[in-house]
Amino acid sequence: MLQLKLKFKMTEKWLRSFLKLGLVAVLLVHAPKSALATTSLIPLPSPLSKDADILTFYWDWLVEELNAPPNFPYPEIKVGDLPANKVMGLMFPTFQDPQMPLHIIISKREMKRAEDGSDLEVLGNVAHEIVHYFILLSDHNWDHTQPEFLRRNNAKEHCDPEFMRLVRHFGNFIWNAYHSDNIVRAIKKSVNRSCWEEGQILN
């Protein structure tokens, strides 16, 4: 069997899919330059962990796209309680709450949705929060150890064309792995919905 030393460990399912469709060469051509750097995957709770390779490959794309440091650390991603109107969020220390650790939290309700079969849509929401993480750290010289971070205006960020482009691009990685137009549409709709829910008008 062809041995591919990619940034991430390909699942047998994904590798078989690419071999069958003749897309291995395409994957290698479009791989980020850092694709051979490491084999560590973004740690995710189950059942999202089965597709950690997809999210890790997207992470490498973001590192190059935003000129982040090569060894930029993954955020901690955990499951917890959130208000009823929130399914996920990027948490970080601020002047008002300096003890808050920097992490991404997924609501228990959202994890239940993943367990019930909507795991790829939930993974898309994690990608959304990861883009928030990149933008937050880019505003602070990529220093994840700062005791406090300045809070951005969510409405402006959710409707920022560059933010929306970065999140939408995750759909390309999902499509390359699963060829699911429905999931890609759901990811793109969620980007628009996030902007709309902040009271902004899409152009």
How would residue 11 be classed by pLDDT, with cut points 50, 70 and 90? very low
- Tell me, what's the pLDDT at 103? 97
Q: Which residue reads 């994904």 in tokens? A: 14
Mean pLDDT of the chain: 83
pLDDT at 35 over 70: no
Per-residue pLDDT at 200: 47
Residue 199 pLDDT: 59
Is the confidence at residue 173, as pLDDT, over 70? yes
User: How far is it, in rounded angstroms, from Cα 179 to Cα 67?
Assistant: 29
63-102 in b/e form (b: 16+ CB < 10 A) is: beebebeeebebbebebeebeeeebbbbbbeeeeeeeeeb
Q: State yes or no: pLDDT of 141 exceeds 80.
A: yes
The closest alpha carbon to 17, from 46, 43, 53, 42, belongs to 53
pLDDT at 15 over 60: no
32 pLDDT above the threshold of 70: no
Strand partners, 79: 106
Tell whether the model's pLDDT for residue 6 goes beyond 50.
Answer: no
- Provide Rg for the chain, Cα atoms: 17
Residue of 135, 133, 122 lying closest to 44 (CA atoms): 122
Average pLDDT over residues 148-157: 80
DSSP assignment of 78-116: EEE---TT-SEEEE---SS-TT--SEEEEEHHHHHHIII
Domain ranges of the chain: 39-197
Contacts 24+ apart (CB under 8 A), 118-121: 119/47, 119/48, 119/50, 119/51, 120/51, 120/174, 120/178, 120/180, 120/183, 121/183, 121/186, 121/187, 121/190
- Tell me, what's the pLDDT at 156? 81
Which helix (DSSP H) or strand (DSSP E) does residue 77 occupy?
strand 76-80
